[in-house]
A = this chain, B = another copy of it.
Amino acid sequence: MTRSPKADSKGRKLSSFLCFAVYSANLAFGRAYKPILDAFGLTYTQYIALIALSEADEQTVSALGEKLFLESNTLTPILKKLEQSGYISRTRDPADERQVRVSLTAAGRRLLDKEINASLVEATGLGDEFPIVQKSVVRLRDNLLHHTRGDSKKG
Contact = CB atoms under 8 A, between A and B. Distances in A.
B137 A18 contact: yes
Q: Is the interface of A mostly helix, strand, loop or mixed?
A: helix
Interface in A4-35: 4-7, 9-11, 13-29, 31-33, 35
Interface string A126-153: 1101101110111111111111100110
A48 B14 contact: yes
Instruction: Classify chain A: how many residues form its interface, as a range.
Output: 35 or more
Given A1-B127, A23-B29, 17 more contacts: A13-B55, A14-B51, A14-B68, A17-B48, A18-B133, A19-B33, A19-B120, A22-B22, A22-B29, A23-B48, A24-B141, A25-B26, A27-B69, A123-B143, A124-B140, A125-B140, A137-B137
Interface of A: 1, 3-7, 9-11, 13-29, 31-33, 35, 44, 48, 51-52, 54-56, 67-70, 109, 112-113, 117-118, 120-127, 129-130, 132-134, 136-148, 151-152
